[in-house]
Chain A
Amino acid sequence: MIPTSLNAWVATPEIFLLCSACIVLLFDLFVSESRKQVTYLLTLLVLALTAVLTIQSLQQGLMLAANGASPARYAFSNMYVADPVADFAKIGMVLGVALVLIYGRGYAQERGIFKGELFTLTLFSLLGMMVMASATNFLTLYVGLELLSLAIYALVAMPRNNVRSTEAAMKYFVLGALASGMLLYGLSMLYGATGSLDIYEVASRIIRGEANPMLVTFGTVFVVTGIGFKLGAVPFHMWVPDVYEGAPTLLAQLIGSAPKLAAFVFVLRLLGHGLAALGPDWGAMLIIMAVLSLVIGNLAAIAQKNIKRMLAYSTISHMGFVLLGFLVYNAVGYAASFFYVMTYVITAAASFGLLMLMSRSGFECENIDDFKGLNKRNPWYALMMLMVMFSMAGIPAFVGFFAKLSVLRALVGSGFTWLAIVAVVFSLIGAFYYLRVVKVMYFDEPEADAPVAVGNLDAQLILSANCLLLLALGVFPNQLLTALSYAVKLSMASAAGMMLQ
């Protein structure tokens, strides 16, 4: 009843982001078309400050945990939680979004989409992701998801004279709306069965057997379907390749990187916490989705000539891996998935970043043939692409290997050895198309003699750092893995505490 019960200080990063997104929106109106660099720099400043605030929140949470208290701080009548999982995910999201803007600057300028809306809508989509990461109530969860999706639909449609991106936006919008409908229908059934919108309340009522089991099961099916659409897992993957191919590469990167982290926390809270009691039920559904994603993602990627489509199918297979981590429904599996998603965001950012830096006005670098003989034309870019491809393929010494390894370890630890074998077999098949890119770069003759477009210097430096990070994390994966597992464990413990109340 009194404002202090809102406890709004807990949500400082989001509140700051919202206010500054509005400031960027207004500020941009006074910046002339030719000087949008100013808005760009302001947006990066906002992202940096948001990251600082999130890191502070993370430190506070870890300090609470070190003192033996619960690290989860609730706000807005228990509709918002700041816990280490949310804070880690948010830091990854801010980084992912910042990389989109840094790599995409030159690309967007050449294609006439370097406009104020690009920055404001990107900031709002980040706000949506951050809300999703912190939501503990169906209502907040859903509104965050819609905020994220709506901003991205509009961004994809932004080059409106381009038929391909308009088509991509239309497909994305229609299927996204369908997925939202499915999800909402499932959530409404869960609400009908339990009489509550609060995730922990729902969980405890299901555990106490106060919920109608039939309705809960039906609701779970629809929720899992909605999640499948949003993650782009088979058989709900049809939109992914078309959207990746049609959308400007900048937005393909935005769709393919940071939102996956939001989706991870979303699934963790919805299935891992809220429907924890139904683990075997949704676990079985996830097995089907994960195996199909691995099979179809990896096999279809082999047939692709367009590298954006190839990356889309590779995303599908990576999401299969993430689901594999989930379906063991314990903290080890969730931590493995978290690590997988976190490193995937960095890898995907690097892959799309390379495509954008090598494009120039009038030329989209999007076919595998465009990489022919890259080593002779620009050895440094070829080496970086090699690192990205090796990491995605899961070759040791790169971070992708440890991500896959941790998921497989979680699977074997929970007795799903056959699933681990399937995952390994299809990863091997998947390695073929990643290595084909490497072969094309190093062993084929270049088709054009013109020097490769290299992009802006700042983007080049950050991209190099990004690719070297893949190697560095591959050599020293333990710090990140330990930190993320610790965060997941803390989150599970505080969720269990909330359910007992």
Chain B
Amino acid sequence: MTLALFYIFAAVLVFGALRVITAKNPVHAVLWLILSFFTSACLWILLKAEFLAVSLVVIYVGAVMVLFLFVVMMLDLNFEELRKGFWKFFPVAAVVAAIMLVEMILVLTNRYAQIPGAQLVETGPTVRELGLQIYTTYFLPFQLSAVLLLVGMIAAIGLTIRKRKNTKYQQPGEQIAVKAADRVRVLKMDAEARLEAPQPKPADDQQAQG
């Protein structure tokens, strides 16, 4: 069962990853990338590393990819223009890719590169283990890191917030507390007799005075 699931997820992952680099529309590429992340998270769960899986989804899908989407949608990039030099730079890219491939093969097959003790240790649910560690042994650094993030937030807001003088803000509190008397002013006045229309003064008089 696990094996079948693994092959299904792996196939989806490989397909998604291929589509990321072949998709014409960058928004589609980002969406395919989200699918790839999601399926790799599923693979992590199969390996019983649910903390990694959850953080992959929360951090990459939830935060980084959303940011990517924003950037891609907001920037008006001409992707045809970017693709133009592809064949010109292909040889250089091929050399770099070949070097990376050789390096990976060397590392993966080398006896000395195998880290001792790197076998998967079954300790039960990793989230529980991590939680226990974080809230007991590493309680102080964990809390302080939270304070560090808070300071980062205060700094970011403090440095960028600016109140525009000509922006009009709504003040709901005052709007609710308003009374009829504040809006309509009823003036009481005595009835007055109609006055005779005043005689217009000669215009040249006023100019001479002004």
For window 123-168 of B, CB contacts with A under 8 Å fall at 132, 136-141, 144-145, 147-148, 150-152, 154-155, 158-159
- Say whether A395 faces chain B, with CB atoms less than 8 Å apart: no
> Given the complex, which residues of B lie within 8 Å of A131, measured CB to CB?
144
Measured between alpha carbons, how far is A127 from B139 in the docked complex, in Å? 16
What class of interface size applies to chain A in its complex with B? Answer: 20 to 34
Answer whether A151 and B158 are a contact pair too, CB < 8 Å, given A77-B137, A79-B140. no
- Asked if A121 and B154 sit within 8 Å, CB to CB, the answer is yes
- What distance in Å separates the Cβ of A9 from its nearest Cβ neighbour in chain B? 14
- Say whether A153 faces chain B, with CB atoms less than 8 Å apart: yes
- What distance in Å separates the Cβ of A389 from its nearest Cβ neighbour in chain B? 35
> Given the complex, which residues of A lie within 8 Å of B132, measured CB to CB?
1
- Asked if A154 and B151 sit within 8 Å, CB to CB, the answer is yes
- Asked if B155 and A150 sit within 8 Å, CB to CB, the answer is yes
- Asked if A139 and B141 sit within 8 Å, CB to CB, the answer is yes
Measured between alpha carbons, how far is A79 from B137 in the docked complex, in Å? 9
Q: Looking at the complex, which one of B140, B145, B151, B152 makes contact with A76 (CB distance below 8 Å)? A: B140
Q: What secondary structure prevails in chain B residues at the interface with A?
A: helix
- Say whether A158 faces chain B, with CB atoms less than 8 Å apart: yes
Number of B residues, CB within 8 Å of A: 18
Answer whether A18 and B139 are a contact pair too, CB < 8 Å, given A158-B158, A160-B159. no
- Asked if B141 and A150 sit within 8 Å, CB to CB, the answer is no
Contact with B along A390-423 (1 / 0, CB 8 A): 0000000000000000000000000000000000
- Say whether A264 faces chain B, with CB atoms less than 8 Å apart: no
> Given the complex, which residues of B lie within 8 Å of A364, measured CB to CB?
none
> Given the complex, which residues of A lie within 8 Å of B150, measured CB to CB?
22, 124
- Say whether A157 faces chain B, with CB atoms less than 8 Å apart: yes
Q: Looking at the complex, which one of A80, A124, A160 makes contact with B140 (CB distance below 8 Å)? A: A80
- Say whether A6 faces chain B, with CB atoms less than 8 Å apart: yes
Contact with A along B81-105 (1 / 0, CB 8 A): 0000000000000000000000000
> Given the complex, which residues of B lie within 8 Å of A151, measured CB to CB?
151, 155
Q: Looking at the complex, which one of B144, B155, B158 makes contact with A144 (CB distance below 8 Å)? A: B144
Contact with B along A325-347 (1 / 0, CB 8 A): 00000000000000000000000
Interface of B with A (CB < 8 Å)? 132, 136-141, 144-145, 147-148, 150-152, 154-155, 158-159
Q: A121-B158, A147-B144, A153-B155 are in contact. List 9 more A-B contacts (CB 8 A).
A: A1-B136, A6-B139, A18-B147, A115-B158, A117-B154, A143-B148, A146-B148, A154-B159, A158-B159
